Chain A
């Protein structure tokens, strides 16, 4: 995996954006803390200076200059490093105490900048905030403190924030790279699989890690999609093989008929007979084509738009009534058990066609004397239409196959038909969202269509 690819990856870019956002918020937080802390500290220093100035003023009022100076000396002695600076100028401007430079003796704050006294950051001058208090006897009291330490405190805050910031960004970038590379590896696996499939290895599947995360779910969904595509392609291939095979047979017969005719025909009656046979074969081929197109059309699902609520009971009754004579002629016992008033959402023509195909099969593929039962009833599973017979039946292993295109049982190969009848039924069932199944009815075959019922119109 290249660095460039890593840096372009979606997850890395996401991480970068996240880090940037995080940095901005940390900076805002740092400056907020910086400004409020230094302001608070300055305020505190000035309050201390003010309080002390008032206290010294009181000493002066009680005992004049001498007591004031005594108090200042006491304070300076008692203080440790960083205490307040006291200075007193006499009425003539003479320095009586302390070392602060003189200034106009007006009440208020002044700022002095002087040489460093050791507690400043290297290379900076000392900065003092001084409160000037004129006294009653013309003396001038100056109380001040180093405000450089406010700055020092501030830079301490900023410094620690800086370290935290650096650490965080480093970790975020590292984490981003780590996560992206992991993510990219898995994306890359999907990509490689897709490439392999494009190259022609259609049985390749995306490897899965077995953890139930979103990428694994995606992989399993994609794999299922590929399975479905493969099975569709397989069935398509089968269909085209089957079509080719099943059309070759009648075309071959047609060719033989015509070739024989060319050599052996002598009378107009012969011509007529040959042409009739030819037309019969061509009709069979057209029928097969028609059925293939029909299955395709039904499977495309386009007819679902024309669905209507219809009485399945009436439809089944109607078809059974129509079929009764054919059943009788074929020597079958035909019984119906149809519950009235059952409705489904569907396409009448296709449903009729399905039932006709199943009944035709029952007539064609069973012996005389067989009993055929059509039953329509509502069960707890839905509306259930079943057609059963007690004929030779279908071996259990073949039950699923009978719905496949062109599938015909070995013993039925010689009977009329194109092997598409039940494929149409299966396609129609699928279109209607109905479950279709075939089972042995011991003996015989039972085909069941299970529809979801429609509420009767109010």
Chain B
């Protein structure tokens, strides 16, 4: 995938370019807002990663003006400002996701991949299936190989979030934001606890821990 990174710290920029390159993405790099804007109008990008504070044109107004021309281009903000207001401001200006520095590269990669795979049309499915695990979003029912599994509401939401991103790495922070709507890290092990509960209920073979990154769900070995 073709990604444009706008970041004014050259060391961090070079690092992200290299790591994303290793993960199979093609990355262009701009250290200023105005040069970045020029690149966007020329190149055909699948994703933008934009630092909020950029020399030339700042990240917020850059994305705002960009949104008028390319409403479907996913944008991921990077920022030193982690307050709720800053985040809301970033998302309101047209960002699709918001990542606060300092971050682990795994976190960035997971979010980049999530944004790139996001379906362009958001038709809501009524049920989903991974292997022999089935989730009915209307009746809020979960079955594995035809057997009903009882889940707590939070466990159900967690499973739904994972299944919407089947075979995709989901980080701890993404789960906190998506399932608990905590846009901050409360520094507890609630995610781990809930994952282990969920595992014990649906079978330990489906939800995998990706070391240093997060979790992903895929068809279990026991499934056909």
* Chain A 249-287 interface residues, beta-carbon cutoff 8 Å to B: 286-287
* Nearest-Cβ distance from residue A283 to partner chain B, whole angstroms: 8
B187 within 8 A of A: yes
List, in ascending order, chain A residues with CB within 8 A of B196's CB: 329
- B184's partner among A287, A323, A349 (CB-CB below 8 A) is A349
A306 in the interface (beta carbon within 8 A): yes
A180-188, A352-360, A380-388: which one contacts chain B? A352-360
Give chain A residues whose Cβ lies under 8 Å from the Cβ of B102: 286
* Interface residues of chain A: helix, strand, loop or mixed (majority): helix
Q: Does A326 contact B (CB under 8 A)?
A: yes
Q: Which of B154, B182, B188 touches A360 (beta carbons < 8 Å)?
A: B188
Chain B residue nearest to A318 in the complex (CB): B180
Are B84 and A322 closer than 8 Å at their CB atoms? no
Number of interface residues, chain B, beta carbon within 8 A: 19
B100 to chain A, nearest CB (A): 10
Shortest Cβ gap from B92 to chain A (Å): 14
Measured between beta carbons, the chain A residues less than 8 angstroms from B140 are none
Residue A329 contacts which of B183, B184, B186, B193 (CB distance < 8 angstroms)?
A: B193
B1 at the interface (CB under 8 A from A): no
Complex interface: chain A residues within 8 A of B184 (CB) = 349, 353
Q: Which of B182, B187, B190, B193 contacts A349 (CB 8 A)?
A: B182
CB-based contact A325/B193 at 8 Å: yes
Residue of B84, B180, B190 touching A326 (CB-CB under 8 A): B190
A287 to B185, CA, bound (A): 10
Q: Which residues 75-122 of B have a CB within 8 angstroms of A?
A: 83-85, 102
Is A352 a contact of B186 with CB atoms below 8 Å?
Answer: yes
Q: From residue B188, how far is it (CB to closest CB) to chain A in Å?
A: 5
B67 near A: Cβ within 8 Å?
no
Whether B197 is near chain A, meaning CB under 8 Å from some CB there, is yes
Contact B194 A356 (CB under 8 A): no
Return the chain B residue nearest A355 by Cβ. Answer: B186
CB contacts (< 8 Å) of A297 on chain B: these are 83
Residues of B within 8 A of A329 (CB): 193, 196
- Contact across chains for A349 and B183 when beta carbons are under 8 A apart: yes
Which residues of chain B have C-beta atoms less than 8 A from A323's C-beta? 188, 190
Known: A321-B154, A356-B188, A360-B188. A326 touches B182 (CB 8 A): no
* A303 within 8 A of partner (CB): yes
Chain B minimum-CB-distance residue to A289:
B102
Closest chain A residue to B198 by CB distance?
A325
- Which B residues between 166 and 224 are near A, CB-CB below 8 angstroms? 180, 182-184, 186-190, 193-194, 196-197
A–B complex contacts, Cβ < 8 Å, 9 sampled? A286-B102, A325-B194, A325-B197, A326-B190, A329-B193, A349-B84, A357-B186, A360-B187, A360-B188
Identify 15 new A-B residue pairs, CB closer than 8 A, beyond the known A322-B180, A322-B194, A356-B188: A286-B102, A303-B83, A306-B84, A321-B152, A321-B154, A323-B188, A323-B190, A325-B190, A326-B189, A329-B193, A329-B196, A349-B84, A349-B184, A356-B186, A360-B188
Interface residues of B (CB under 8 A from A): 83-85, 102, 152, 154, 180, 182-184, 186-190, 193-194, 196-197
